Structure 1
């Protein structure tokens, strides 16, 4: 079983169970949106000592939790499971995700950096991503940036320091 050095932040107990089934890893549970200062302190400390990977559900609450953590601990590692790979019978989430999707997400961790513009808004517009959801989703997938709208993609591309040239190369253009 592969060991993961970093502590993985998940939303709840069922997510922890799935991670521990797949990896030799430690987790911190946020208890969903009930994430509090005590949990954020723990995440901050773990990040200083071992590093942290945030792996939340690919839905609005998961994004909200991710943003709360980033606000407190910038430049943290992140892993994303695609929405289509995380749909269960009655729920959407990490606990319902395909095992291969979780393994893939943790192999393709990204670190976002704020205040660095590697792609400008005019360059982004020139890529014809805004009106083309299929193309936008392809870019999200190619760079393992999760899911979101065009504005979120623009922000994440800059935070992951991805250039227009990187995008064109990955798209084979």
Structure 2
């Protein structure tokens, strides 16, 4: 599978994992302290070929994603759920631990965030469907992020990401129904 866009990853091990999965070029941020030179490289890549941001599903990865998005709009975003990015012993999380199949799937589902989204899902919806303020909210948000391919978030980030990706109300409600059915099946 050949990827036209340049994939932004955190480090060398991520590049190795990407190249095992697809034919693609990468830019490495070398951690969350992204310097101006790296931002300029990403900006040039976005202008010439397009960019897919593919960072680890953890706090530093989200910080990198947010920093790049602020400086370089119109990037695509690829996400891996935490459980698909864990090393075999389960201690570390990162793109480098994902299988080639999971990397390819995440890249195929990469999406652009929109700057001026229309509100289709309200904060009240998130509360009413148990994504905020309940004991099970965290696990529901994780599952919703997997189903919609928008990554794991806290409640505030979930609201923002649903808007940014312009997730339709119908798509959201279908995902909610799937989560509820899974919960009923699991007792």
1:44 matched residue in structure 2: 43
SS in 1 for 2:32: helix
Distance 1:29 1:15 in 2: 8
1:169 aligns with 2:174: yes
Distance 2:141 2:57 in 1: 16
Q: Is the 8 A contact 1:123 1:164 kept in 2?
A: no
- Give the counterpart of 2:120 among 118, 121, 131: 118
Can you list the C-alpha shifts for 1:91-135, whole angstroms capped at 9, x where unaligned?
221111232221221111121113322322223333332123332
Distance 1:171 1:121 in 2: 14
Q: Is the 8 A contact 2:21 2:101 kept in 1?
A: no
SS in 2 for 1:9: strand
1:144 matched residue in structure 2: 149
| Structure 1 runs, 4 residues or longer, greater than 3 Å off | 170-173
Matches within 5 A, 1:45-84: 45-84=44-83
Q: Is the 8 A contact 1:86 1:94 kept in 2?
A: yes
2:7 matched residue in structure 1: 8
Distance 2:74 2:43 in 1: 11
Post-superposition offset of 1:59: 1.1
CA RMSD of aligned residues (A): 1.6
1:135 aligns with 2:130: no
Stretches of structure 2 that go unaligned for 5 or more consecutive residues are: 179-187
Post-superposition offset of 1:149: 1.1
Stretches of structure 1 that go unaligned for 5 or more consecutive residues are: none
Distance 2:169 2:20 in 1: 38
Distance 1:34 1:136 in 2: 28
